[in-house]
Structure 1
Amino acid sequence: MKPVNIFWYLYGVVAMALVLTLASLFFTIDYIEYQNDQEDFAYDLLEVLDFAKQPCQSTQLDSPCVQQYLMESGFEVSPDFYTVNAERLELWSTDSKTLQVYSYEHGFQAQLADQPSWWIRDDEEHLTEAFEDNDPLDMLYTAAVITSMLLVGIALFLYWPVRRLKHWLTQLQHATDALAQEDYSVRLSPLNITPLSELAQRFNRMAALIENNLEEKQLLSNAMAHELRTPLSRARLALALLQKQLPDDNTKALVNDLSRYIDELENVTDNSLQLVKLQNTAPQLTAIELHHWLEQKLALRQGQTSHIQWHSELPPITIKSDERLLTLIIDNLLNNAEQYATSQVSVRIHQEHQQTILEIQDDGPGIPEEQQPQALLPFSRLDHSRDRRSGGIGLGLALVNTACQRLNIQLEMNNCKTGLCVVLTFREV
C-alpha cells in the first residue's frame, strides 16, 4: 500500500469530520425547523379559530364565516384528505379544541377531533412561499459554500504546523539514517510540541550515550592493542635468544609453537588496531580504473597458487574510492575465496542502474545463511573444527564490513550452487 502524505491524511480526516458534522448540523436544524413549523401551524390554526368564534358565533368548519377567516389567514378547508401517504405527526390540545396534525407536501394539514369530516391545510400560496424559502437546492448550495470556505480555512491553518512537523520528521529520518551509517554525532533540533520535544530529547540522549560508549570502547581497544606490542616484542626477543641455546629438538619444537602463538597475537593486535583506525578515518577518494587494478591483483595470485584457477570478467570501469580501504576489502575477500575454494575463483564486475557491482565467487562450502550476519562480527569463527591456521582469527570479514561502511559499499553474501558469492555494490560516498 502506497504511503499517504501526512498533510493530506490530516486534512482528509478533518475534512471528513467537518462534512459529517455539517451534515448532522443541517439535518438537526432542518428537523428543528420542521418541528417549529408544525408548532406554528397548530397554534396559528387554533388562534384563528378562537379569533373567529366571536364574530362568526361558531367554530364549525362548514360555516362560510369561519372558512373566510381561515382563508384570510393562509388556510384552506375541505372535506377531503389531501395526501394519501400523509404521516400523522402530533396531537395538539387547548381547553376547547383538540387538533390532530398530519404532513402535507411541504406543509401540514389538520383535523379537529369534534369535526372529523373536515380538513384544514396550508393554502397553495403559503406552500409555494414555504417551498421557495426552503428550497433543498438552495440549502445544498449554501452547505457546499460554507463547507468549502471552512475546508480552505482549515487547510490554511493546517499547512504551517504540518509543514513544520513534516520538516522535523524529515530531520528524524535523516538522523536515523546517519545512525545507521555510524555517524553518532547527529542530533535533532528541539521542537516545542509534546510529545515530539520529549522524543527529540531522548533521541539526542541516546545518540550521545552511544557516541560516548563507542569512544570509550575505541580508546580502550586502541590502548590495549598498543600496550600489547611491547610485551610481545620482548617475548619474541627472549624466544630468539632461547632458540640459540636449546639443547634438544623437543624443546625447539615447543619454542617454535610459542613463536607461532606470538605471531597470532601480533596478528590480532595489528588487525585490532586496523579496525579501530578504520572506524575513525575519513576516506580519501581518488579515481581508480577498477578493471586494471583488479587485473594486477589477480595476476599476482595466479602466479602464486597452482591449485586454484582464476576466472575474471573485467570490462573497463572507473570508480571513485579510497584505494587503501578498497585494497583492504578486496585482499581479504580474495584471501577468503582462495582459502576455501576447491578449484576455482571467479571475479566479475558489471554495471546495473548506474551502479558498479563487483562479484567474487568461489566453489567452496559457502556460509550458512543464518550464520552470515555472525560472520561479519569481529573475532567470529564459524567452523570450530578448524584450528587457527586455517580458520583465521575472525577479523577478516569484520574489517571488510567496516571498510564497506566507510566507503558506502553495500556488502552481500549469497550461497550459490558452486559456493559463496560476495557482491559489492558501489554507491556514492
Structure 2
Amino acid sequence: AKWREPKLDGRITEDLTINELEQYWNPLLFIDNILSETKETQWLMAQRNETGEVYLLERRRIKGVFLETLELNDFPLDVQDLTITVTSERPESEVDIIPDQNEMSAINVQTFVDQQEWKLHEHVEITKRIMKQEYSSSMKSHACLSVTCRAARRPGYFYWNVFLIMFMISSLSFATFAVSPDKAELRLRLSFTLILTSVTFKYVITQSLPKISYLTYMDKYVLMSLAILCIISVWHAIVTLLDPEHIATKYSKPANLFDLYGLQQHKSFLPPDTAVKSTNNTQNETDNFFKEHASLDNGFADNLLAFFLGSEQMEEADQSAESKTSTDNGNLSTSVGDQQNTTVPRLSNECSLDNKMACEEWKRVQIVEQHVFTSFVIIYVIAHAVFIFWLYFDASRRRREMRQKDKDYRDFLRRHQQWQQQSLRQRDMHAILRSSLHT
C-alpha cells in the first residue's frame, strides 16, 4: 500500500528510520478473509516521486490460510476464485482504498506449487466495494479492495478414473441382452450386480468431495448411468411376462402332455420354433425317453403319438394302438420308434397346428427384444451426446472466458509496458532539454 504524507516533504527520505515512519499516520490495513497466519514480513519506507512529493510505502509478505467459498457446480470442470480482501480499521470517511495505476498487480505463475491439479490463470481482477463490520460497535462502513485470481481444475484425472469407468459399467448393461429372454433371473442378477457396482463406486468418489447440497456435473453423469441401469433392469423384469416357455405351456397342447406324464426332467425345452427345427436334439431326447419308459402302457404311447403327430393325427394313433394290442412290449418300442422316425422330420420343417400359436408368440418376443435393445442403444447414445454438448457449452464456458481474459490481460500488460517506456523516454527528453537550457 502507498499513501501521501505531506509532513515529510522536503526531508531526506534515506535518513528516515522505520521507527520514525511509524509515528506518522497509517491506514491500518489488514486482510479480512485470512483464517490463520503462519508467517508475515512487513516493512515500511518513504518514497519521493519526480515532483518532490513524499509517499509512505508499506509492503507485506504473508503466508497463511485464506477463506474462500468453493463453487463446485461445474466440477470437475470448475474454476475457483482465489480472493484476498484488503480493508482498513478506519472508516470510509477517513480512508479510501484505490488500485495503483502505476504499479500493476501480477501473479508469478511459475511459483505455483499445485500445478498438477490446478492451472493458475495469469489475469488479476481488482474490485472496489464497501463493507460493514457487523461485529463492530460503531457499525461504520469501511473501504474494501478485493484482489482476485483464478485457478482452473485439471479434469484429466476424473475423465479417466470416473467418467470412463462409469461409461464402461453402464455399457456392460447391454451385454445382459445376450442372455435368452426365458432366463430373466440371470439377466436381473447381472443387472443388479452392475447397479451395486455403480452405487459402491459412487460412494467411493464422493468421499473425496465436500458434502454439498447441490449436484455437480460428475454427480449428474453418475446418476444418469444409474438411471440407465435401472431402466434396463425394469425391462428384464417386464420381459418375464412375455416368457416364451410360459407362452409355450399356455398355448401348446403337447407341452401339457409332457407335464401330464412327468417329463419335466427330459424337456430342456427350447422355444417352440427352435424345438421344432432342432431335429437331431428332438430325435436323441425321444430315443432316450423310449428306452427309459418302454414298459409303460398303451395309453402313454397314445399320448406320446399325439405329441408328435398333433391333434389331427390322434385318431390314426388310436387305430394303430388297437391293431398292436396282441404284440409284446418289445414290438411296442419298435413300432413307436418307426412312427417317431417318420414324424419328427416332418415337424422339423414347420410348426404343427397345435404349436403354431406358441411359435408366433416366441417370434413376437424376439422382435420386441430387438426393438427394445435398439431403442435403449439409441437413447444411450443420445443421452451421452447431449451430456457432452452440455459440458462443452455450459460447464466449459467459464474456462473459455478465463482463457480469453488471460489473453486480454497479456495484451493490456504489453500496452502498459509500452506506455511506461514511452513515458520514460519523454521524461528523459524533457530532462535533457532542461539541462541544455540551463547551460
Q: Establish whether TM, by shorter chain, passes 0.5.
A: no
TM (normalized to structure 1)? 0.26
Could you say which structure has the greater relative contact order, defined with CA pairs below 8 angstroms and 6 or more residues apart? 2
Instruction: Name the TM-score, length of structure 2 as normaliser.
Output: 0.26
Q: Which of these two proteins has the greater Rg computed from alpha carbons?
A: 1
